[in-house]
Structure 1
Amino acid sequence: MNQNSKPTNSLSATKRALLALQEMQAKLDASESAKTEPIAIVGLGCRFPGGANDPESFWELLSNGVDAIRDIPSDRWDIDQIYDSDPNSSGKMYVRKGGFIDQVDQFDPQFFGISPREAVSMDPQQRLLLEVSWEALEHAGQPLDKLMGSKTGVFVGVMNLDYFQRATEPQVVDAHTATGNAFSVTSGRLSYILGLQGPSVAIDTACSSSLVGVHLACQSLRLKECNLALAAGVNLILSPEVMINECRAKMLAPDGRCKTFDEAANGFARGEGCGVVVLKRLSDAIANGDNILAVIRGSAVNQDGRSGGLTVPNGPAQQAVIRAALANGKVEPGEVSYIEAHGTGTSLGDPIELRALGAVLGKGRTPDQKLMVGSVKTNMGHLESAAGMAGLIKLVLSLQHQQIPPHLHLNNPNPYIPWAELPIEIPTEVTPWHWDHGSRIAGLSSFGFSGTNAHIVVEEAPVSEPQQVEVERPQHLLTLSAKSEDALQALASRFEDYLKAHPQPNLGDICFTANTGRNTFTHRLAVVAQSGQELSEQLAAFRTGVETAGVFTGDLEDKQRPKIAFMFTGQGSQSVGMARELYETQPTFRQALDRCDAILRPYLEQPLLSVLYPAEGETSPLDQTAYTQPALFALEYALYELWRSWGIQPDGVIGHSVGEYVAACVAGVYDLEDGLKLIAERARLMQALPPGGEMAAVLAPEAEVTAAIAPYADQVAIASINGPENIVISGVASGVQAVVTELEAKGVDVRPLKVSHA
């Protein structure tokens, strides 16, 4: 409380009541604000058809307008035995194509601490989710070992039970069948493996599952049930039964493609894959310095209720969920410039969806404010429980690149859609995302065939000014690790490819994220480089087995972190200009030394920094004890802070002479202010002693040194025994010099110490 404030009990009753009302209103405002706080997307992971195994390759597929539909893989089932072009043929399917990913049977269980025997009973959807979630967290720069025991939530959309049908045949049922196939364990296993203790929920609302999961994750973050959330969708097509069912219901397009909004739209194409986004409250992401990819402004979920049929879309319900999401995000309809549509490519659903979009978002738009609409399903089919995640990741990438990828298979617009009445444009080629009416904001819809609808509103990431580096480091350290040599080689190769594709990278950012945002494993690589080109060349040398300077490798046999001790040296090790390069290039070191300089000002006649780094032509009193000891203390303390900033924490500290005082300080015996005051006074008292003394370190046994100083017993003595053959002598200058001369004549290594008093 400052001197101008008054205690509340001195105010009148009316003023106290007014103050209480103001405080209550502030709390209510904060509570309301928390309910709609934007949610930051800080990490992505994906495995989608067409080889889109990461966000970069997914964007390449989208921007190039790739059609990722292909024949049903032969390792799923024998399509020739089941295919029949006649849609009325019982027990057959009239579709031969879909959106598939590769190697769904491949999994490294031991990486996740799972036994191979248990992995056999695990639904590949569980396995795929583990892999992609790990990648998403790495993409977010969230070290997984730091998440153990944290309030991190998991929200997974999943709907297909194909593997369960195989795993529950009586002859293959084992102890792991239930946990290997239950939807609840799909999310629960991820939480268990990573040690996450926030909410963990599996959601099945069919095609809207993953977007409903995003909505629930946002709510959980806003309610502070969790501080980090993984929202995911996973879907694999492993058996033909569902496809046969959908063919009997005539849901699928015979050519296996979603021809969304086209007059040829005649059903959807099935697709598979997995997508994961890492979410944080926007305020937390900004405070933590996270790389914010996009922001979820609002979300909503509702139900069709009594529509024209159980699986028939309900236009008014779609309008309602979009309006609710806009209201939740405090976004006006006219601010939305793009919609990633559900857009399955059905003759009934497409017109209903576009009419609903026009009703909510179309009013009052000028010709230059047309609403652009597209659907990723034209690229890879309908990923069902992972469909919302495919759309969301496409949306995030589009916002980042400020481009809208082409919408495929639109040759003749669907005549049942009233195009002339709708201010809607379907981009059929890569389209720059220009928007002169505020920030870029988009919407994303997912509608489940069970009637559950979801819509979210996404905004481009806030513009953040890059932090200017005060002084660029002359060299950077990149550390990589993996659980096997092959995996380490592959990881190094990916970094090499990235550096080749980005010839002018921010090397400091790359190394920082790699060093701090990933778990460390036993197979390790460390590379020291001055530039991105040099780093790329060194990685190539590692990959090809060529020995190169600055490249260090090793396998850590002992998985336990080794204990670390910091040793602080004593007087005699000082030199003018010591650690100048660190002071000029390392902000942490400079800040610590500047702080010591400020604290020592009242105790030193000359400022510490001018003693350490005198101007050209000036002499320094550094070798005077009054300055030597405070200078060494300050320098060693700054080094300690620098090591700490790099994540190197000592398990124990030890010091010699002046170093003992620094060790006691960093161990918490006293604070920095008291430590510097103590060492400055010690140095002042020693400086006041008569001059003319000298000290020397003798690298010889104690007995030999004792014999050497015996003739000068009244002038020279042993000051300290630092080791079996490391003895320090001290005394009158003439006596010490005489002893040194005699010892050197015998070949003994003697090192005079730079001290002004002894």
Structure 2
Amino acid sequence: MSTSTQRDRQPVAVVGMACRFPGARDVQTYWSNLLEGASFLAPLTDDEARAKGVPDGVRGLERYVPVSGAVDGIEHFDASYFGISPAEAAVMDPQHRLFLEETVHALEDAGWAGRASGRRVGVFCGSGENRYGALLPAPASGASSHRGMSDTPAMLPLRASYHLDLRGPSIFVNSLCSTALTAVHLARRSLLADDCDVALAGAVSVQLPHEHGYVAHDGGVMSPGGALRPFDRTADGTVPGSGIGIVVLRRLDDAVRDGDFIHAVIHGTALNNDGADRQSFAAPSVRGQRDVILAALRDALVDPSTIGYIEAHGTGTPLGDPIELAALLEAREQLGVTTPCAVGAVKSSVGHLDSAAGMAGLLKAILAVREGVIPATVGHTRLNPAVDLGESGLYVNTERRPWSDASHPRRAAVTALSVGGTNAHVVLGQYTPAPAADRSAPAGAKATRSYLFPLSAHTPAAFQRLRERLADVLAGPAVAACADVAHTLQAGRAPRELRRAYVASSPAEMQARLKDDAPPVPQGRIQLAVDLTGQVSAAPSLLGRLHLPEGALENSSGGERAFLLGYGALTTLTGLGVVPDVLVATGSGVFPAAAVAGALDRDVALRCAVRLERVRDVVRSGGDLSVCERELTSMERDLAAARLAPLSTAVRCVTTNETFPVGSVPSADRFLEVAQTVVMEGGEAAGAVAECREDCPDVLAALADWDSWLALLGHCWERGADLAWDAVGDPAARTTALPGYPFEPVRHWAIPEAADPVRQSAPVAVSSPAPAAADDADVLAEVTAIWEAVLGVRDVAPDANFFALGGHSLVAAQIITRLRERFAVRVPLGDLLDAETPAGMAELVEERLASARLYTALSAAEDEATMGTFEL
């Protein structure tokens, strides 16, 4: 078999999951609910329905059913995390907002949130209709393009790709109720075709009016009784619900190689359509459903008799349920399969989630094969009499039960069907890894290695919650290996603005450090001290990690060794992603600093540093000063012959209290001045101790031991360094389950109260600036008011950054429109974006107003000069 064929047929690993379903804000809660056999289709009382804003005319209808499956908090969104302005967030489809947040959680669960940016990560997803947009008031002047982007469902994957910097295919999927599994099929195909290395597949649906129930119509699919009973003899229809589910997929070989946690493997998928083989456009087809099952099994290359559970579509409709079971029966009959196989449907627990329905079923099946438990199907008591399962081995599972057959890996299948005839079927199974060595330390044993644990958040409050949640996990009974926790935090979390890094050698030590209430560190300048004057040494465990020529340290003198260690430490840091803003050098430390910054050749810098250290030793010991003269003369000769180059990093020499900025070329005289100052100060480097404080750690001191080196790396990461974690962590570490990012729920809801389906007060709108005469206007105040109206942000400062407040080109287009309406001036989009601040934009407007006034004055003068009498 060729390599390409092997890739096309290999399983795909499910390495991450995230969801929000009725009664569950995460996967763990969803699974707990399923095991308990709970249903979240609870009816509302009349008082509750009234309180939620259901009109009296609707509540009084005979067919009004006050039942639905709703997710909490659809009006909330952490817009600032994604750099989205409040005004844009307020009109954004809640489905898009949910999808953005859960995409982050899915990537975190996969251990890829910190690695996905800029990588070939594909997004395949779909959504329901944008019912929210239909309830919003007409867009204000200049906002049509802004609203158009928010109203368009197909923007869903494109938003995720943009805000998370994902570079793979970004495809909107819509096949109605089978959208979720269609997305999974396309994502899997994209991976196997090598279009991407990681793929997200998901779907979201938010029903509006929300939490209000529905009106059942005669002959419709909605249950007039408000109960969804899959395959039951009393089934009378479905019940709507809202929800979102996302899975992260990778090729199995890649996932195993990179130490990803694998929830399950997808063996095969298939899609088809019923075509015209049905009674009507909305009717299902036995043959179409049977054929998609057979196609998925052929694709999966697994024994059909090993499938022990089927998560069916199971809408609870008298027509659809019997046809779905008939298709299963025909498929098994053709395959000659009669082994026991449980059938279930999760819709009776969470409702029919429309586009996201298949994702609720897929996550249930993944968890079932992973945990070896088949949850009960709520609401099923007695089989529909139109169905005869006979000796097929199929049975509707009505109680929680362990997976019975342990002779082969657990396998399951999931079906999703849609109005319009697109059928999808997925075959998945348990992942059975090769036995791994136990890497946890024995009880009471002392750990031999420490790890770096990075933690970051967008706000101080989020950081505090994240720290508390992680401490709780580390205090729990099932604690992962220390290396796995560190690896997951390093590669599995996207670094945010506020950071703190911890060094610990055990989960207990890490938990203790997390209880320290020290605030996170905002990103800032990275300053590193280079001081060769102390007792310089390096731990043996670190020597092999430094970027040094082979055998460079062998037979080296004290001065040579100090230089080589300093130079090696700095170049190693550069290779790990640390780009210092300033190197603070003391005495001879200016030479390795200048060499790393590119101003001096390394060998010249080495000779100069060694000579200066000899001078310092002679001066301090009161020795023969003629030695100093010879060394300084040789240093001067070396520097005169050297080719000096511009600095790529600023170097500050505390010995002479001078800073050489980036791009400058330090002269030989400046380096000689350092040596002369050392001589005049008796060999001491004045100011060195004062400079090497907490915000300017000494690079050579960090070589003393592994913990000190990690602390230095953590210091640099806290201030913004993009560390190469693969070179820092344990190569054998694996991704483990840790708390996801705690988004801050801020209400963004722009529906007027009269039309608001959740009956909550709308946010106070920021009014547009009132028209005024341009000559009398305070232009900066007017521009600021336009910013506040368009962005939905109050108290904008004159130097506020447009992009930091969530601005982008379409928002800028709205500002251009309002500036034209307000001042009758036209400002090019590029100029407006370059201005970036209200003050800068106001200056542009003032320039154009001044030009307009000058033009008017000149035109008037010309008119006066040409007016007069003349003969006809």
TM range (shorter): 0.7 to 0.9
- The counterpart of 1:573, out of the listed 532, 535, 538, is 535
In structure 2, the residue corresponding to 1:283 is in which secondary structure? helix
In structure 2, the residue corresponding to 1:302 is in which secondary structure? strand
Question: 1:446: how far off?
Answer: 0.3
Asked whether the equivalents of residues 716 and 729 of structure 1 are also in contact (C-alpha less than 8 Å), the reply is: no
In structure 2, the residue corresponding to 1:70 is in which secondary structure? coil
Asked whether the equivalents of residues 406 and 429 of structure 1 are also in contact (C-alpha less than 8 Å), the reply is: yes
- The counterpart of 1:592, out of the listed 524, 527, 545, is 545
- The counterpart of 2:124, out of the listed 151, 155, 159, is 155
Amino acid of the residue matched to residue 13 of structure 2?
A
Partners in 2 of 1:449 and 1:293 — Cα distance? Answer: 31
CA deviations 1:605-624 (Å, max 9, x no partner) are: xxxxxxxxxxxxxxxxxxxx
* Cα distance, 1:184–1:694 mapped onto 2, change above 3 Å: closer
* Cα distance, 1:456–1:591 mapped onto 2, change above 3 Å: farther
Tell me what 1:610 maps to. Answer: none
* Cα distance, 1:249–1:528 mapped onto 2, change above 3 Å: farther
Amino acid of the residue matched to residue 504 of structure 1?
V
2:161 is equivalent to residue 194 of structure 1: no
Amino acid of the residue matched to residue 433 of structure 2?
V
Asked whether the equivalents of residues 527 and 552 of structure 1 are also in contact (C-alpha less than 8 Å), the reply is: no
- The counterpart of 2:14, out of the listed 28, 41, 52, is 41
Partners in 2 of 1:658 and 1:464 — Cα distance? Answer: 54
Tell me what 2:655 maps to. Answer: 723
Tell me what 1:751 maps to. Answer: none
Query: Which blocks of at least 5 consecutive residues in structure 2 are unaligned?
Result: 633-652, 658-673, 684-872
Trace 1:602-613 onto structure 2 (pairs within 5 A). none
In structure 2, the residue corresponding to 1:59 is in which secondary structure? helix
In structure 1, the residue corresponding to 2:154 is in which secondary structure? helix
Question: 1:58: how far off?
Answer: 1.5
In structure 1, the residue corresponding to 2:77 is in which secondary structure? coil
Asked whether the equivalents of residues 12 and 249 of structure 2 are also in contact (C-alpha less than 8 Å), the reply is: yes
Trace 1:55-454 onto structure 2 (pairs within 5 A). 55-71=27-43, 74=49, 77-78=53-54, 81-83=57-59, 86=62, 93-143=63-113, 147-167=116-136, 175=144, 176-239=146-209, 247-306=217-276, 307-361=278-332, 369-454=339-424
* Cα distance, 1:242–1:384 mapped onto 2, change above 3 Å: farther
Query: Which blocks of at least 5 consecutive residues in structure 1 are unaligned?
Result: 1-25, 87-92, 542-547, 584-588, 605-624, 699-707, 732-738, 741-758
Question: 1:48: how far off?
Answer: 0.8
In structure 2, the residue corresponding to 1:125 is in which secondary structure? helix
In structure 1, the residue corresponding to 2:168 is in which secondary structure? coil
CA deviations 1:513-540 (Å, max 9, x no partner) are: 123322233333444445434544554x
CA deviations 1:81-112 (Å, max 9, x no partner) are: 424674xxxxxx44211211111111232322
CA deviations 1:431-484 (Å, max 9, x no partner) are: 222443432222111000221111111122351555758994554443322222
Partners in 2 of 1:319 and 1:234 — Cα distance? Answer: 27
Amino acid of the residue matched to residue 54 of structure 1?
D
* Cα distance, 1:637–1:326 mapped onto 2, change above 3 Å: farther
CA deviations 1:184-232 (Å, max 9, x no partner) are: 1222222232333433222221110111111111222222333322211
Question: 1:370: how far off?
Answer: 1.4
For this pair of structures, how many residues does the alignment match? 635
Partners in 2 of 1:420 and 1:651 — Cα distance? Answer: 76
In structure 2, the residue corresponding to 1:491 is in which secondary structure? helix
Trace 1:672-691 onto structure 2 (pairs within 5 A). none
Asked whether the equivalents of residues 233 and 384 of structure 2 are also in contact (C-alpha less than 8 Å), the reply is: yes
* Cα distance, 1:646–1:697 mapped onto 2, change above 3 Å: farther
Which deviates more, 76-85 or 270-279? 76-85
Which deviates more, 71-80 or 438-447? 71-80
Asked whether the equivalents of residues 453 and 486 of structure 2 are also in contact (C-alpha less than 8 Å), the reply is: yes
Asked whether the equivalents of residues 39 and 296 of structure 1 are also in contact (C-alpha less than 8 Å), the reply is: yes
2:469 is equivalent to residue 494 of structure 1: yes
Partners in 2 of 1:719 and 1:249 — Cα distance? Answer: 101
In structure 2, the residue corresponding to 1:252 is in which secondary structure? coil
Amino acid of the residue matched to residue 592 of structure 1?
R
Partners in 2 of 1:173 and 1:130 — Cα distance? Answer: 26
Amino acid of the residue matched to residue 553 of structure 1?
P
Question: 1:344: how far off?
Answer: 1.4
Partners in 2 of 1:132 and 1:503 — Cα distance? Answer: 25
Asked whether the equivalents of residues 341 and 373 of structure 1 are also in contact (C-alpha less than 8 Å), the reply is: yes
Tell me what 1:512 maps to. Answer: 487
Amino acid of the residue matched to residue 190 of structure 1?
A
Asked whether the equivalents of residues 260 and 410 of structure 1 are also in contact (C-alpha less than 8 Å), the reply is: yes
Asked whether the equivalents of residues 440 and 481 of structure 2 are also in contact (C-alpha less than 8 Å), the reply is: no
* Cα distance, 1:169–1:292 mapped onto 2, change above 3 Å: same
* Cα distance, 1:695–1:139 mapped onto 2, change above 3 Å: same
CA deviations 1:629-682 (Å, max 9, x no partner) are: 7765775577568756865455687989997997799789999xx99xx999x9
Asked whether the equivalents of residues 70 and 211 of structure 2 are also in contact (C-alpha less than 8 Å), the reply is: no
Amino acid of the residue matched to residue 98 of structure 1?
S
Asked whether the equivalents of residues 503 and 532 of structure 1 are also in contact (C-alpha less than 8 Å), the reply is: no
Amino acid of the residue matched to residue 289 of structure 2?
Q
Tell me what 2:617 maps to. Answer: 695
Amino acid of the residue matched to residue 381 of structure 1?
G
Query: Greater strand percent: which structure?
Result: 1
Amino acid of the residue matched to residue 496 of structure 1?
A
In structure 2, the residue corresponding to 1:412 is in which secondary structure? coil
* Cα distance, 1:315–1:285 mapped onto 2, change above 3 Å: same
Partners in 1 of 2:616 and 2:98 — Cα distance? Answer: 71
* Cα distance, 1:501–1:373 mapped onto 2, change above 3 Å: farther
Taking only the aligned residue pairs, the percentage that are identical comes to: 32
Partners in 2 of 1:670 and 1:445 — Cα distance? Answer: 67
TM-score (norm 2): 0.64
Asked whether the equivalents of residues 77 and 240 of structure 1 are also in contact (C-alpha less than 8 Å), the reply is: no
* Cα distance, 1:650–1:269 mapped onto 2, change above 3 Å: same
* Cα distance, 1:637–1:504 mapped onto 2, change above 3 Å: farther
Partners in 2 of 1:574 and 1:694 — Cα distance? Answer: 15
TM-score (norm 1): 0.72
Asked whether the equivalents of residues 348 and 379 of structure 2 are also in contact (C-alpha less than 8 Å), the reply is: yes
Question: 1:47: how far off?
Answer: 0.9
Asked whether the equivalents of residues 49 and 100 of structure 1 are also in contact (C-alpha less than 8 Å), the reply is: yes
Asked whether the equivalents of residues 336 and 442 of structure 1 are also in contact (C-alpha less than 8 Å), the reply is: yes
Tell me what 2:519 maps to. Answer: 553
Asked whether the equivalents of residues 69 and 242 of structure 2 are also in contact (C-alpha less than 8 Å), the reply is: yes
Question: 1:555: how far off?
Answer: 4.8
Partners in 1 of 2:379 and 2:545 — Cα distance? Answer: 62
Partners in 2 of 1:533 and 1:427 — Cα distance? Answer: 43
Question: 1:273: how far off?
Answer: 0.8
Partners in 2 of 1:357 and 1:529 — Cα distance? Answer: 54
- The counterpart of 1:53, out of the listed 25, 50, 60, is 25
Amino acid of the residue matched to residue 455 of structure 2?
L
Partners in 1 of 2:211 and 2:586 — Cα distance? Answer: 76
